[in-house]
Chain A
Amino acid sequence: MSAPTETPAAAVKPSPMSSLKRFVAKPSGALSLAALVVFALTGLIGPLFVDKPGGLGTDILQPPSAEHWFGTDDLGQDVLAQVIWGTRISLTVGVAASAIAIVIGTALGLLGAYVKRADTWVTMVTDLMLSLPLLPLMIIVTAMVGPSVTTLTFVIGLFSWPEVTRLIRSNGMVVVAMPYIDGARALGATGWRIVTRDVLPAVVPLIVVSVLLTAAKAVISEAGLSFLGLGDPDSWSWGRIMLNAQRSGVISTAWWQTLFPSLAILLLVLSATVAGVRFNDSRDPRLKDR
């Protein structure tokens, strides 16, 4: 009984590095992560190299050329500069709105999963929110509060949490039913401790995935609202570039003015979604070829 036993080799803790390595081992992981990094860098430091688009230029409605890679709009402003400055706002709104949605969604999801009495209410409110027509509602609220980056962030964030709640609640319920939760209760752990120390860590991977997916959706919502004229008139966003093209009546002729911001949206949403899926797969021990 007292003979020392060898610790199995598998006892080595998985380092954060090895999970990142596994994530990028597949092209889908490496490419999506690279695209997200490029977007983040563009938003962070891009505006340092490009002047904020404004004023009137002489080259109006130029198609893409060596001088203006993404062409120019009807005021002679460089579309590339607009896209770069727009990246900053679109990403900011996307990340901040997603953060709001994740915090509210996770809190309510965990509440519903652990507290049986609250669950009925959480489920009802979530279902109600999910059944509302979101776009018209966002338009009304934004128009009433007055368009600004802050308004957009809050409106999008406050309307995006129900899906997170639903995801966290359903997976939290699986964890709550595990015998080790009963074990913790048998040792006298408080509900708060069980939720934060036992249930929350078990759903963190899902939170990571939903951060990415919610942010992607928030970027689309932001672009949509900006395109409808509910964006911040003082700052550039991808939606506003397209709104300008539409307003000046060149949307069908100056294709570059809508193509490039649309491509940016498409690429960002696609890479965020792919990264989310890849993250999920890379952590799934049941997949052999992960």
Chain B
Amino acid sequence: MTAPILRVADLTVEFTTGEDTVRAVSDVNLEVYPGRTLAVLGESGSGKSVTAQTVMGLLDTPPGRIVAGSVVFDGTDLLKAKEKVRRQVNGEGVAMVFQDALSALNPVYTVGHQIGELLRVRRGMSRAAARKRAIELMERVRIPAAARRVDDYPHQFSGGMRQRIMIALAVALNPRVLIADEPTTALDVTVQAQIMELLTDLQRENGMGLVLITHDLGVVAEVADDVAVMYAGRIVERGTVQELFASAAHPYTKGLLRSMPRPDREADELWAIPGAPPSLVRLPPGCAFQPRCDVAVELCSVQRPELTAVAAGRSSACHRREEVFHGRA
């Protein structure tokens, strides 16, 4: 496999709220390869969005604080880079698609103006050329009658169309990595599928690395190549999508897969992982998942398991990873 284009190494991010310090992201390692899709899977508060914000340099400091780690894009550590380098990378190197496209577009400018402004500033295009390119980009993200809609304001578009505009903005400078932070959460199911298809098509055309931040297992199964499962700020399991769905090596992943509604499974009730995610302020000692785990042993409440390999390309942060992986627990 080629070298990763973006590498997040040992990233730890804390937030200070009053007297409490919350560790939202702990020792996270991620690699994004060109042309591959990495899904970061986790529920609300698992730290996946904070990781994305840190990569984009959007973290508010304070209250946030990057305690340790690096974000290396194409040989440059973005966390140590100068403001100017950082800005250059944003948009051209790494771009981001946000969850809520209505609020992520400026309501007072037309979409054509917003795409065009980006091209004028970053590519030095003339007004006319930028407008022409904006229409092309809108066509590329399959907005019908793009030439006519280029002068419309964000609120005049439907949710799905707005998300397409966001994607057009994000790919306008041909970034090498695209981070999509729950890009389909605010959309209805039929539109979700179209947006995901659009993202994977663009990825294929550009050879971009795609980071998909999501809590939707269906989307992960559909488009991801690699998966990193996050729980309480840590990566608990990694692997390729096929392997991970075939045999999870962490009880949390197992629980997630089990709680997924599936037509081929005849059950009156959906299964749910018992309990609730822990408060990041007061994490339980040992493994953060241990209070909800059905295979926990004594060791789990004493010592925190490290992320350790179970097979080639597979790792899990569980004391009983071998047994879970081989289906013995």
Contacts and interface: CB of A to CB of B under 8 A. Distances in A.
A182 B166 CA distance: 13
Contact of B105 (A3, A180, A193): A180
A110 B90 CA distance: 24
B262 interface: no
Contacts of A178: 103
Counting contact residues on chain B (CB < 8 A from A), the size range is 35 or more
A187 B103 contact: no
A188 B156 contact: no
Contact of B145 (A4, A187, A193): A4
Nearest to B107: A180
Interface string A1-25: 1111101101100000000000000
Contacts of A65: none
A179 B104 contact: yes
Interface stretch (A43-51, A92-100, A144-152, A195-203): A195-203
Interface string A174-217: 00001110111111111001000110011000000000000000
A133 B166 CA distance: 51
Chain A, interface SS category: helix
A187 B90 contact: yes
Nearest to B103: A179
Given A10-B156, A197-B117, A186 B103 contact: no
Interface stretch (B94-102, B243-251, B303-311): B94-102
B152 A185 contact: no
B90 A2 contact: no
Given A10-B156, A188-B89, A198-B106, A183 B98 contact: yes
B95 A186 contact: yes
Interface in B131-167: 142, 144-145, 148-149, 152-153, 156, 166
Contacts of A197: 117
Contacts of A201: 108
Given A4-B145, A198-B106, A185 B156 contact: no
A207 to B, nearest CB: 14
